[in-house]
Amino acid sequence: MRSRAAIGIVACEILGFQRSYIVHLSCRILLLVFLLTGLTACERGPKDHQQTLLVFGTLLDIKAYTDKPGEFETAVGDLEQTFQKMHREWHAWKGEGELVRLNRAIAQGDAMRVSPELADLLRQARDHAQLSDHLFNPAIGRLVALWGFHSDEPPGGPPPDANKIAALIEQAPAMSQLVFEDGQIQSSNRTVALDLGAFAKGYALNRAIRRLRAFGIDNAIVNAGGDLCVSGRHGERPWAIGIRHPQGEGVIASVDVADGECVLTSGNYERYRKHEGIRYAHIIDPRSGYPVKHVTSTTVISRDGGLADAAATALSVAGPQQWHKIAAQMGLVDVMLVDENGTVHVSPQMRQRIEFQQSIDRVLVSAPLQPQP
């Protein structure tokens, strides 16, 4: 069945309708996209076009400001194919994709020939892991599975046996144990189980923007459940987006996103295991084997979507005390964390960009983060 739902914003819509339509959509995709410029009459020239795909287990919302509706349509068809393929090949535990086969080979102590693209993806993931002091650690698939997150349904019941968690921590799976040689990958540690859940989406969003550009679509937002990359502008203005409040309703802050930038958020609030009133987040601290507690969401803006995704997860693990050090190591400048008390921790660069949309009790602005040369 075709999952593509054509819901283009028609050129002659009045501004009010456009706004209410977008607000409605944001409830589903967890992020408001403010269109700050509106079309008030039928005009020639670029217009808003929008399509939503169901891919990567989430809604992928593709919005473009363009005068090439035909090219947009073709590009969206291409993206649908590309995303389905990435989902199939990079899934950590379902089906017979490349990553599932690689995980099996690793568990058996074998080497496996992999596609150049998967090798590139894993090299990047390894580098991000290194820079994050392994707080982003996509080799901990066994821990993620133990906590019940290798399942389409939200897990329930008590936390896993502490001895099993301790045993996996003892085995210390890490990306640095992967060996890349002659197009093959193997691991010196058989307990490495690759799970790209914290990284592949950001990488894919970056690629989607490049793909759209190849079809001549230069002004676009590609948004997967609130994580997004943009190209160009929305007419006279930059694209403006809202970051959802992790603990409440609505938008915590809005921000203008420049050509080529990505905004990635990792949070405790969306996927978790609940038992006796306690929530166990799907982000695991690789040092302890237990879900992170102190952070409710982390937002990172970067031109590298994969880096931003990996970093949002790593900084959620790092928490209010250590995020600044890890962000500096990862070469980030625009970072915002919201902790469980609602306190916002933010780099001065990010503070300057965002506009809070709600009153915030406490905002802690850190020392500046130095941009990479």
Site string for Mg ion, 274-313 (x = CB under 5 A): -----------------------------------x--xx
Angle, helices 305-329 vs 116-131, to 10°: value is 20
Among 317, 318, 336, 337, binds ligand ADP (CB under 6 A): 317
What is the smallest separation between the CB atom of 369 and ligand ADP, expressed in angstroms? 20
Residue number, 49 or 128, with CB nearest to ligand ADP:
128
103 touches Mg ion by CB under 5 A: no
**Binding window for ligand ADP (CB under 6 A); candidates: 8-16, 242-250, 310-318, 333-341:** 310-318
**Binding window for ligand ADP (CB under 6 A); candidates: 63-71, 111-119, 232-240, 278-286:** 278-286
Neighbours of 5 (CB within 10 A): 11
Please name the residue that has the structure tokens 């959509």. 25
308 touches ligand ADP by CB under 6 A: no
Site string for ligand ADP, 122-141 (x = CB under 6 A): --------------xxx-x-
Q: Give the residue among 44, 23, 55, 95 at the shortest CA–CA distance from 249.
A: 23
149 touches ligand ADP by CB under 6 A: yes
**Binding window for ligand ADP (CB under 6 A); candidates: 12-20, 155-163, 171-179, 265-273:** 265-273
d(CA 11, CA 46): 9
**Residue 227 neighbours by CB under 8 Å, 6+ apart:** 201, 202, 205, 262, 263, 264, 265, 305, 309
Among 132, 266, 298, 316, binds Mg ion (CB under 5 A): 266
What is the smallest separation between the CB atom of 300 and Mg ion, expressed in angstroms? 9
Amino acid letter for position 128: H
Q: Give the residue among 315, 345, 319 at the shortest CA–CA distance from 327.
A: 315
Q: How many chain residues bind Mg ion (CB under 5 A)?
A: 5
Site for ligand ADP in 348-367 (CB under 6 A): none
Neighbours of 333 (CB within 10 A): 19
- Residue 86, φ and ψ in degrees, nearest 5: -60, -40
By CB under 6 A, name the binding residues for ligand ADP: 136-138, 140, 144, 149, 195, 197-198, 266-267, 270, 282-284, 286, 309, 312-313, 317
The residue ranges that bind Mg ion (CB under 5 A) are 198, 266, 309, 312-313
